[in-house]
Amino acid sequence: MRELSKIAMPVVFNEPLSFLQRISEYMEHTHLIHKACSLSDSIDRMQVVAAFAVSAVASQWERTGKPFNPLLGETYELTREDEGYRLISEQVSHHPPISAFHAESLKKEFEFHGSIYPKLKFWGKSVEAEPKGTMTLELLKHKEAYTWTNPMCCVHNIILGKLWIEQYGTVEIVNHRTGDKCVLNFKPCGMFGKELHKVEGHIQDKSKKKRRVMYGKWTECMYSVDPKVYDAYKKSEKKSGGESKNCEAEEADEMPEVQETVTVIPGSALLWRITSRPAHSAQMYNFTSFAITLNELEPGMERLLLPTDCRLRPDIRAMENGDIDLASSEKERLEEKQRAARRERSKDEEEWSTRWFQMGTNPHTGAEDWLYTGGYFDRNFTDCPNIY
């Protein structure tokens, strides 16, 4: 097992987006946050927030290209007036690599923020990414804050065979005002692939009474159902022998055949369904329709953007334009420029100072967190570092 974050990877393993842009894909299903804001019951809000937490990692499906490591001080902004939010992110640390982001509703209905240190481990045939860092979603009208951490992500067959992705681990979402909690289990695929992509869990109130069962797949959809209905369904399924499907053993690391789609238990409510990908997605790094838009430079946009914005990064732009040689030489040049700047700073005993985020205490968890200091959208962009 090796730590991978310090190894420079050839550009052919990349997709033409920075990790800061990849983080902004959490916002693809922002309509779920708007829905949660509109609901009066806290358990109803929790199940929609839980669906949002699952939807936020759904774009990982089949995304086997590695996003570019952001340079120290790199930024990304995204304003979506049609979806009612704006987002700013910044690479706040290089070793370890930490990306901080802050999204806010244009109508002051919610704030969603966090920082991620993607700890990569190499296990021979696979790479495992542990996204260390807490997500915080604040529903301002309800004076509620929800926190959680994302599941582990694993890319299989990095040396040989078809690359495939699974996500696994327990995600615990806490409503800090009411004490409600949602526990979601992202299941590893298991011996016969029966569990591939499955997510199951429940919502409990502060007295630990189970209020809803949630189930689905992170690649497809999430449902919720009354716990009694769920238990009765599972009992009848066992009686009818619906569980014992016979499967041939799979090759060690081959991707299991995806089992039938989610079986809907009668009486369930659909919380979220994935947006289908564009027809040409497979030729475009398996991007979603949302991801395809993230590096667009519309006319007139360049003079509004901070010079450190990912859209202005030459190696990513060259890769998007299909010039792999230029992308590779630009990536090397930028990495060397970053190393030289670090050497200069250590010679002068200077510390790097972040621009839009500062280390502070997350008021809801009490833990250290990178918090947005504000002011980005005033567009006072003086003293901007020259990182490209």
User: What's this model's pTM, rounded to 2 decimal places?
Assistant: 0.92
DSSP 7: S
CA-based angle 12:16:17, to the nearest 5? 130
% residues pLDDT > 90 (the chain):
76
Q: Any idea which of 78-92, 250-264, 338-352 has the lowest mean pLDDT?
A: 250-264
Choose among 203, 205, 201: nearest CA to 179. 205
pLDDT at position 251 = 45
CA 36/CA 90 separation, integer angstroms: 27
pLDDT at position 361 = 97
* Structure-model confidence comparison of residues 341 and 6, the more confident one: 341
Under 8 Å between Cβ of 258 and 195: no
Distances (CA, A) of 18 to 51, 69, 305: 25, 6, 16
Distances (CA, A) of 298 to 74, 143, 288, 303, 304: 20, 37, 19, 11, 11
Sign of CA dihedral 270, 282, 67, 131: positive
Under 8 Å between Cβ of 60 and 292: no
CA 223/CA 272 separation, integer angstroms: 7
Give the number of other CB atoms < 10 A from CB of residue 176. Answer: 16
pLDDT in tens, 144-192: 999 999 999 998 988 888 888 999 999 999 999 999 999 999 999 877 7
